[in-house]
Chain A
Amino acid sequence: MLAQLTKAERERGLLISVAVALCGLVMAVLGRNDPLGIHGAIVILAGLLCVFAIIAKFYAPEPSASRLENYYDDPTKVGIILSMAWAVVGLFVGDWVAWLLVFPELTFDAPWASFGRIRPVHTTAVIFGFGGNALIATSLYVLQRTSRARLPDQLSPWFVLAGYNLFCVLAVSGYLMGITQSKEYAEPEWYADVWLVVVWVTYFAIYLRTLVRRKEPHIYVANWYYMAFILVVAVLHIVNNLAVPVSIGNAKSYSVFSGVQDAMTQWWYGHNAVAFFLTAGFLGMMYYYLPKRAGRPIFSYRLSIISFWGITFFYMWAGSHHLHYTALPHWVQTLGMTFSVMLLVPSWASAANALLTLNGAWHKVRDDATLRFMMVAAVFYGISTFEGSFMAIRSVNSLSHYTDWTVGHVHAGALGWVAMITFGAIYASVPWLWKRDGMHSARLVEVHFWFALIGTIIYVFAMWNSGIIQGLMWRTYSESGTLTYSFIESVVAMRPYYVARAIGGLFFLIGAVVGCYNIWMTIRNAPAHAAERVDGKPDAVIAGARLQPGE
């Protein structure tokens, strides 16, 4: 794979890897009395790993110029594999956390296995590890095909992919050692944050450089969404993580914001992470893979425009609905609530645009589990955006806030929408990328689909029940005007739902493992040389190998 890099790119790659390893060395030395030192060692290791990988192919012959006529899909292939690996890790830890709430002794008395540490391991592994890698992998794939242009170079996508995964590893390993900023979904500390900025700017640059070289007159909807995702996440990440480290040799930092401003910045970030990472990015994915797989034109170009600008504009204001009935001034809560209500319209417009695109292809939805993954994803997108706007209404929030209803809502979105659309996209692209007629087993895709759907439904229903019961128990007063239930009684009442939730999560995990096996078997049987020409003509190397109907 790395033999595809030109000699100049190999040299540059080597230089960057050495520089990364040296950075790790500095971290290890300065942070020798701090967990930062261990992260230094991990960075050294990552740098050296890349050094060795490049050296192994350093004297390989220069790749032929004919490569420029093909799309560059190697990083996408690796990204998909990484994404599935993170999915299994993240879902496993997630289910562990779920069982931990049923059996508190499952920490085995180890500090690293306490709820506060493994819960962010779960969220980071699934959102950033699974979701992020899937977004990077598919965006590079979609970008090239909808622009009819090859990526501008071969080194920067590898830098983005490897750098991003290094960030994820630093994040997850840090939590286990107790390194955290205590900001939800922004837990990694300052040095990991700085590194992610470098990676992310490179990612955005790839996008712009490819779009500039595009041969299509228009920029496809999917790319609007992918770009909004990359750009806004950069802005959010930089602002929310503004912090001053205790010292250059210390992992701990202090946010420049304090008090309610800190809370507001965090939830402006937090909600827009949902908006632009978990929504915009995956809408980009949906807008390419769903019509492609269904073989249908997008229902309405005009609806795409309205919903894109509606989503990008309204979401920006909605974050304060996470802070209803807090020290946050009332007027900020009002704005958060009202914009969340208006947000429902473009959200449902997007879901409708996806589902109406399937008109004329519903027989395929019935027969093809891959397309059904995407259809169900659009349905869950509709459900969870309705639920989100509903829960953002102040009086509803007074019941739902701090309860499991929030957890259920997030998982309706994360399992039902994000993971389902990702699995659909991955099942569609694996045969396209590795030049197979289809997945190793269509039946196993079907198995995965039902495991995923049943798991999600069990999960979401369990959390709806427990959340609403919690909310009601916490606000029930006796005739004498005192609370009827103590908090611990509400915890006891949650137990059956926590068991159900953990079983639902287990279903989802099993589905993902089945998916990994299926993907692995598909890849294993792939022909050696497989590339796809920018002009759409069959590649000389694989002349005779069948291209996918959708390609």
Chain B
Amino acid sequence: MAVKERDSHTGYMTTGHEWNGIKELNTPVPRIVYFFLITTALFSIGYWILMPAWPLGVSFTRGLLGIDQTTTVENALKQSNIQRASWTKRIETESYTAIQADDALMKIVRQSGKTLFGDNCAVCHGLNAKGSKGFPDLTARTWLWGGDPETLAETIRVGINADHPKTRISEMLGFGRNQVLNRAQVDAVIAYLRTLPGETEKAPAPIAQLDERQKLFAAHCATCHGDDGKENLRKGRRT
């Protein structure tokens, strides 16, 4: 049944098997295949001898190098903490004024601060810190809760409307819903806000009416937002 024949192109014999016209040559396995099989096997055996490799029931072969990933990562962490300690210690202990006075230290602070901002703050405030709906623009340099380093640090520590017991609460009363102001009065306040400087939509109103609106604002809004509608420390900002 098995008729072996010589392939004219390669000069090798076929195995004599045939499947629906497909034949196979009986070409010997090229030497290089054995070479690489042996090389990779030797590499593996060497690696097994040096590294943790084979299970032994409740334990495993530890390897001559005594390397283990847990200790490796612990050492790496220890090492990097030591490397950073030169400046982290100063940040932990020194006052903000002292830190700000040291240009070299501030360079490090800015460098790591940028990455920390990207990983922690950018989700809401944007990578460019310009903010988005409901999240203030941090580049405006007007700080709702105060802009000195101590206060900023406290704000970051306790958060705003967060679950920390000392968190800052940012909340405006529902003047309309609570019926402090009726619909017409709400509209009047809005109209007044639009006359304030910085608004694009200027609607100059008669002085008499404006007085009425201004009074409403002074009575209900100015406590938090200030007489001129400009934000106050720890209080909301109109825009």
A interface vs B, CB < 8 Å? 145-146, 148, 216-218, 220-221, 288, 291-292, 296-304, 306, 310, 325, 329-331, 333-335, 337-339, 341-342, 344-345, 348-349, 352, 359-360, 478, 480-489, 492, 536, 550-551
Contacts and interface: CB of A to CB of B under 8 A. Distances in A.
Nearest to B81: A481
B132 interface: no
B47 A334 contact: yes
Given A325-B69, A485-B118, A489-B118, A330 B37 contact: no
Interface residues of B, number: 57
A146 B52 contact: no
Nearest to A335: B53
Nearest to B50: A334
Interface string B5-37: 001011000110101111111111110010011
Contacts, number: 157
Given A216-B19, A302-B27, A481-B83, A329 B44 contact: no
Interface in B25-84: 25-30, 33, 36-37, 40-41, 43-44, 47-48, 51-55, 60-61, 63, 67-70, 80, 83-84
Contact of B127 (A288, A298, A302, A488): A488
Contacts of B63: 334
Given A338-B43, A489-B127, A146 B118 contact: no
Given A145-B20, A334-B47, A338-B47, A303 B118 contact: no
B115 interface: yes
B144 interface: no
Which DSSP category, helix, strand, loop or mixed, fits chain A's interface?
Answer: helix
A190 B10 CA distance: 53
A304 B44 CA distance: 24
A341 B22 contact: no
A338 B108 CA distance: 42
Interface string B89-118: 000000000000000000010011011111
A153 to B, nearest CB: 22
Given A216-B19, A334-B53, A486-B122, A297 B14 contact: yes
B43 A359 contact: no
Contact of B115 (A218, A298, A341, A486): A486
Contacts of A551: 20-21
Nearest to B36: A345
Contact of B54 (A146, A310, A335): A335
B133 to A, nearest CB: 15
Contacts of A349: 29, 33
B51 A342 contact: no
A302 B19 contact: no
Contacts of B175: none
Interface string B190-203: 00000000000000
Contact of B19 (A145, A334, A341, A359): A145
Contacts of B44: 338-339, 341-342
A327 to B, nearest CB: 10
B135 interface: no
Contact of B24 (A301, A344, A345): A301
Contacts of B26: 300-302
B119 interface: yes
A302 B28 contact: yes
B127 A297 contact: no
Given A300-B27, A303-B29, A484 B115 contact: yes
Contacts of B207: none
Contacts of B43: 338, 341
**What 10 A-B pairs have minimum CB-CB distances, sorted nearest first?**
A486-B118, A360-B9, A300-B27, A338-B44, A482-B112, A297-B23, A331-B52, A301-B24, A146-B19, A480-B108
B84 A482 contact: yes
Of B1, B7, B30, B54, most A-chain CB atoms within 10 Å = B30
